[in-house]
Amino acid sequence: MIGDLLYLIFAMIFGLLLLGIHRKVIARIQRRPGPPVWQEILHALKFSFKSTWIPQTASDTLFVSVVLIAIGIWTAAFFVVLAGGNLLIIFGIYMLHKIVEHGFGLSSGSPYGKFGGVRSVISAASEIPLFVSVAAVVIFTGSLEIGDIVAWQEQAGPLILAVFPAALAMYVVILSKFPFSPFSIVESKEIVSGYKTEHFGVWRAGLEACNGLKTYVLLLTFIAVFFGPLPFLLILLAMILITVSISFICAFSPMLSPFDSVTIQTLFTGLMLIYVVYLGVYG
Amino acid sequence: MKKKTAGRIAGIAAVAGTGATLLSELGTVPPWLGIAVVVVTFPLFLLFLGLWWMARETDADIPFLGY
Amino acid sequence: MTTAGGTPLFLLEFGDIVISFTPYTTSLFILALVFTLLVIASRPERQLDIAFGTDAYMTKEISLSEMRFRRFMAIACGLASMGAVVTGDLFDFCLFTALVGICNVGIVAAVKSRHVQNAAYQYGLVALAATVLLFGGSAMVAATTGTLSLPILATGTLPAVPLAVKAFIVIGVMGEGMAPFYAAKAEMFRAPGAPYVIMCSLSSLLIFLRVIEVVVQL
């Protein structure tokens, strides 16, 4: 159990390292030297040493507690995945991350933060394909518990072979949560840093910690649900490979406008719905 | 916030989190309670640790006001 | 008895209505509770607006009476979403969902901004129309299976509920504030008062998360 606590801290740092690798790969593809891979870890540390206060216009309780909630929900998600708990809880937490982003943006009173927050909520269309991919997983494994899904794969082989479109849908969902992705309209540069704009110093360090943990948990869930039981080092390797594949997509595609981003995600949803209805009827 | 207050809160959160984990390992408290305490204390610990080490111990610099 | 949300940790019985706290519903409940407490504890922020073309900017203040009313509506909305995520009765779920829709309009109803009022009006119309599907869906569930109790429906011994009825219930909930009907709602977030406005999006996400669990086990 104490091991779990250490694993939690490791997950946070490794998640930040993945984000650093992500930046490095994008930079190399674009023929820039790019920051060192541990830059995101340094970033989080740097922010935590900066002088910190609460903006005068902010709703102070919300401004601070939303950072606590952000780290708290992903800590909870981490333990749920570790215990092989319910997949719905993970996705519930994923959707609640939207509310947290909304809270980050709105609580400061800054218009840039607010636009970021509102964009985060309007892109809620991207979450629905995720639920559809859950439906596809349930049709095959008959359970929503991650533990059962992993056990099922031990018998029948990786789920990614059985329900490839569902894996693709969840991949898109993970992609939308990565920085610099075509769907990351919540922090695009025309609104400064979007919902993060007004959270500086220690608050931002907390947000970075949450991002590291979030990246790790989402990739861990993806690997557990679609690749089944793997040894620990292989999981880490798979995480790096998935991150690099996402970096390639991010490096080659421009950021979409909010309208286009939501439209494309909704199209994905439509395709996934057709696929699941097909599975349900003929599968 | 004073450096001391932030340090104390971070310390209490760290002790509570590790304590609850240890107790659930020994079987004194159910495992879900140990995890619930960690979920609450871990963010508190991280944030107040940051607030503790960034807090100033001396007075701030006097800003340069021009010649 | 295992449901889609996991094995119930605790059952609260009101006659034949059984409220079950599964790991899933409990986590949703706790989140609704945390945000409701935040609504009670925090003061609204002061939104900054830049006077276009100049260097001037102004802050929007919320008057005390307006704040009190909106805080009340936001707490009511929090209570309604707490009810919706744990209830063990399909009709109660629909009632709480409709209440969430009404409270969402209430949260921004006191804001003196034309855009917000227009958005709230349009959202109200969509939410009203959606209740027809919602309650119609639950009535059809009662007609096909003879019960509205979710734990009994989850046993799987009753006649299957038609797919269209499930779709009715999901679309009904989506009308209360999920994409694609979200378009009207987005404009409501122009309103100042972050802790209250967050309740609008939180409540619709929570009821949507619950309806997934409800529909999976129908």
Q: What is the pLDDT of residues A196-223, one digit of tens each?
A: 888 888 999 999 999 999 999 999 999 9
Mean predicted confidence (pLDDT) in A252-276: 83
The predicted pLDDT at position A41 comes to: 93
The predicted pLDDT at position C2 comes to: 57
Tokens standing for C143?
A: 């007609």
Distance of CA A265 to the CA centre of its chain: 15
Rounded to the nearest 10°, the torsion over CA A19, A21, A27, A28 is -160
Q: Sketch the domain layout of chain C as residue ranges.
A: 10-216
Q: For C94-138, what is each residue's pLDDT tens digit?
A: 999 999 988 888 888 888 888 888 888 888 888 888 889 999 999
Q: Which of A60, A64, A86, A131 to mutate to test the interface with C (most CBs of C within 10 A)?
A: A86
Q: For A166-187, what is each residue's pLDDT tens digit?
A: 888 888 888 888 888 888 887 7
Among the partner residues A57, A145, A266, nearest to C45 by beta-carbon distance: A57
Using a CB–CB cutoff of 8 Å, tell me whether A79 touches chain B: yes
Of all residues in chain C, the percent with pLDDT exceeding 70 is 94
Q: Is the pLDDT of residue C182 over 70?
A: no
Buried b (16+ CB within 10 A) or exposed e, A53-88: ebbebbbbbbbbbbbbbbbbbbbbbbbbbbbebbbb
Using a CB–CB cutoff of 8 Å, tell me whether A266 touches chain C: yes
Q: Considering only CB atoms, which chain B residues are within 8 Å of A68?
A: 43-44, 47
The predicted pLDDT at position A77 comes to: 93
Cβ atoms < 10 Å from Cβ of A268: 21
Higher per-residue confidence, C2 vs C78: C78
Q: For C81-93, what is each residue's pLDDT tens digit?
A: 999 998 888 888 9
Using a CB–CB cutoff of 8 Å, tell me whether A75 touches chain B: yes
Q: Helix, strand or coil for residue B57?
A: coil
The secondary structure element, H or E, covering residue C12 is: strand C10-14
Tokens standing for A46?
A: 């740097």
CB contact under 8 A, B24 and A50: no
Mean predicted confidence (pLDDT) in A231-255: 92
The predicted pLDDT at position A127 comes to: 63
A125 pLDDT tier (thresholds 50, 70, 90): low
Higher per-residue confidence, C45 vs B48: B48
pLDDT-wise least confident of A84-88, B59-63, C85-89: B59-63
Among the partner residues A57, A95, A145, nearest to C59 by beta-carbon distance: A57
Shortest alpha-carbon distance between residue C114 and chain A (Å): 18
Structural domain boundaries enclosing B41: 3-54
Contact pairs from chain A to chain C, CB under 8 Å: 122
Among the partner residues C24, C201, C213, nearest to A99 by beta-carbon distance: C201
Residue C113 CA to residue C188 CA, distance in Å, equals 10
Task: Judge whether B59 lies within some domain.
Answer: no
Q: Which residues pair with C19 in a beta bridge?
A: C12
Mean predicted confidence (pLDDT) in B2-18: 88
Strands C47-50 and C17-21 come out as unpaired
Using a CB–CB cutoff of 8 Å, tell me whether A103 touches chain B: no
Structural domain boundaries enclosing A108: 2-282
The predicted pLDDT at position A273 comes to: 80
Task: Judge whether B34 lies within some domain.
Answer: yes
Higher per-residue confidence, A140 vs A125: A140
Task: Judge whether B63 lies within some domain.
Answer: no
Distinct helix (H) and strand (E) counts, chain B: 2, 0
Mean predicted confidence (pLDDT) in A146-152: 85
Rounded (5°) CA angle A133-C151-C137: 65
Measured CA distances, A224 to A41, A126, C7, C116 (Å): 25, 21, 21, 44
The predicted pLDDT at position A128 comes to: 65
| Most confident option among A133-137, A155-159, A179-183 | A179-183
State whether the Cα torsion C9-A229-A210-C182 is positive or negative: negative
Q: Which amino acid is at C123?
A: Y
The predicted pLDDT at position C75 comes to: 93
Using a CB–CB cutoff of 8 Å, tell me whether A202 touches chain B: yes
Among the partner residues B24, B35, B46, nearest to A206 by beta-carbon distance: B46
| Most confident option among A245-254, C13-22, C54-63 | A245-254
Task: Judge whether B39 lies within some domain.
Answer: yes
Among the partner residues A103, A125, A145, nearest to C194 by beta-carbon distance: A103
CB contact under 8 A, A2 and B21: yes
Q: Considering only CB atoms, which chain B residues are within 8 Å of A205?
A: 46, 50
Shortest alpha-carbon distance between residue A135 and chain C (Å): 9
Task: Give, as one character, the DSSP assignment of residue B1.
Answer: -
Residues A276-281: contacts with CB within 8 Å, 24+ apart? A276/A132, A276/A135, A276/A136, A276/A139, A276/A166, A279/A136, A279/A139, A279/A163, A280/A135, A280/A139
Residue A192 CA to residue C216 CA, distance in Å, equals 41
Q: Is the pLDDT of residue A87 over 60?
A: yes
A190 pLDDT tier (thresholds 50, 70, 90): confident
Mean predicted confidence (pLDDT) in A23-39: 92
CB contact under 8 A, B54 and A209: no
The predicted pLDDT at position C78 comes to: 93
pLDDT-wise least confident of A119-123, A218-222, C134-138, C204-208: A119-123
CB contact under 8 A, A52 and B50: yes
Task: Judge whether B29 lies within some domain.
Answer: yes
Q: Is the pLDDT of residue A147 over 90?
A: no
pLDDT-wise least confident of A65-74, A204-213, C180-189: C180-189
Using a CB–CB cutoff of 8 Å, tell me whether A5 touches chain B: yes
Using a CB–CB cutoff of 8 Å, tell me whether A70 touches chain B: yes
A233 pLDDT tier (thresholds 50, 70, 90): very high
Domain count along chain A:
1
Task: Judge whether B43 lies within some domain.
Answer: yes
Mean predicted confidence (pLDDT) in A120-144: 74
Tokens standing for C132?
A: 């027809």
Q: Which of C37, C48, C176 to mutate to test the interface with A (most CBs of A within 10 A)?
A: C48
Residue C42 CA to residue A65 CA, distance in Å, equals 10
